[in-house]
Amino acid sequence: MRTPKEYINLLPRIERSLVRVSNAWMLGGGMLLIVWLGLFGMQAWQWWSAHEKLMALKPRQAALEQELAALRASLGLAGSAGSPQAALVQRLVRERVLWSEVFSQFSRIVPRGVWFDSLEGTSVGKPEIRIRGGAFNYRLISDFMLSLEQTDYFEKPELVFAQKAVVQGHDVAAFELRCGVKAAKGAH
């Protein structure tokens, strides 16, 4: 049965369906515009928050720059970044080995069944570590050397000696090895 609205409407049926389609497109476009404006507003708010945080850090940066200038002046590096003293300090910092990081890495790669009697690290000339210790068998020593080789901290492990030894009545393998330490990974 027809409703009175259908009798009153003067537009033909085809035109009425086009009006509905165009209304749907306008509604979809309006919703898309609202979502876009919401996202734009959120980005603008995030930018403004980051800008305020940056402005709050500016005084701290200025204080740190003054402190750096004072330290450079006390080291005699105040005026010239290309001076021999500045080059020496930069080279020393670049070649420095942070031994705590090296030994931390070192402790992660030691296989179970390997122990150390002595560890000696030197950073004079080429940084290296000399290790004396023991293992339950020779395979553990080779596993340890392979682990050293595969890290970013150590290079070219070299076995000085490995020989059979008796510790508390048990046969073990005593060893000594040395390997280089990559200063670039150990330095901060």
DSSP notation for 63-78: HHHHHHHHHHHHHT-S
What pLDDT does 1 receive? 64
What pLDDT does 106 receive? 75
| 69 in Cβ contact with 78 (< 8 Å) | yes
In tens, the pLDDT along 83-131 reads 676 676 666 666 666 777 777 887 888 889 999 999 888 777 788 889 9
Residue 14 has pLDDT above 70, yes or no: no
Domain boundaries, the chain: 1-68, 97-186
- Flag the least confident range among 45-54, 61-70, 119-128: 119-128
CATH code of domain 97-186:
3.30.70.2830
Burial of 111 (0-12, 13-18, 19+ CB in 10 A): middle
Banded pLDDT at 154 (limits 50, 70, 90): confident
Residue 148 has pLDDT above 70, yes or no: yes
φ/ψ of 154, rounded to 5, equals -120, 155
Instruction: Give the integer Cα–Cα distance in Å for 137 and 105.
Output: 23
In tens, the pLDDT along 70-88 reads 887 777 665 555 667 667 6
Helix axes 138-150, 99-109, angle to 10 degrees: 130
Residue 185 has pLDDT above 50, yes or no: no
- The more confident residue out of 124 and 25 is 25
With 0.75 as the threshold, say if the pTM is over it.
no
What pLDDT does 31 receive? 93
